[in-house]
Amino acid sequence: MERLVTDQSPEAIAEASVVYNMFVEGVLAETGYFSFYQALETAGIMPGLLEGIGNLKKDESRHIGYGTFLLQRLICEHPHLFDFVAAKMQELTPLSLRLNEEGIAGREVSAFGGDSVEVMNFTLKQLSVRMDILARARGKKIEEIYRFSDSELGVL
């Protein structure tokens, strides 16, 4: 992010957006919401907190939608950036897996009944979903990118 102060090249913007919007928000935060919902819904407790988290998740989807729109426009205008973005996501993947593993380390069972295998599978799904959505920008004209709907960008 700090690099953007002095470097606003498409590569620098794409890297910042991949790390923040796609990985931190689109994979890590989304996994956190999933885990939270799974645990509290299974336990049937804290409905007010779940509702509040649901609102956070909705807001978060707008941030992710913004990053998706930004990256799709960059990929459309600079097609080589798709491979750059894919490589960055690949580089970050082991970190997301490790964060999941560390999150459940030392506990065989979640106190609220959550399922750590499902959470890990959700992370893996998010990693591929983010790239699938970005791949839609390949070979498109910029006018077509502008016509993508909110739901096509993942906004709830």
Judged by CB, which is closer to Fe ion: 49, or 56? 56
Residue whose tokens read 């998740």: 57
Residue with smaller CB distance to Fe ion, 15 or 60: 60
Task: Give me the least distance between CB of 62 and Fe ion, in Å please.
Answer: 8
Smallest gap, in angstroms, from Cβ of residue 71 to Fe ion?
A: 15
CA–CA dist 41, 33 (Å, integer): 12
Q: How far is the CB of 16 from Fe ion (least distance, A)?
A: 14
Buried b (16+ CB within 10 A) or exposed e, 59-95: ebbebbbebbbebbbbbbeeeebbebbeebbeebbee
Return the closest-CA partner of residue 119 out of 132, 100, 106.
Answer: 100
User: Under rule CB under 5 A, how many of the chain's residues touch Fe ion?
Assistant: 3
Site for Fe ion in 49-68 (CB under 5 A): 60, 63
Choose one: 18-26, 72-80, 114-122, 148-156; the region binding Fe ion (CB under 5 A). 18-26
Closest among 55, 28, 60, 31 to 153, alpha carbons compared: 60
Closer CB to Fe ion, 24 or 104, in the complex: 24
Shortest Å distance, C-beta 53 to Fe ion: 13
Q: Compare residues 59 and 118 and give the one whose CB is closer to Fe ion.
A: 59
Cα 126 to chain centroid distance, Å, stands at: 6
Chain residues binding Fe ion by CB under 5 A are 25, 60, 63
